[in-house]
Amino acid sequence: MPKTLRPPTPTSRRRERAQYVGGMPDDIAARMNPKDWEEDWRVMSLPGGLELQRALVRDYQHHVARF
- Encode pLDDT of 23-66 as tens digits: 889 999 889 888 887 888 788 888 988 888 888 888 888 877 77
pLDDT beyond 90 at 20 = no
| pTM for the predicted model, two decimal places | 0.50
More confident of the two residues 1 and 30? 30
Cα 41 → chain centroid: 7
Cα 29 → chain centroid: 16
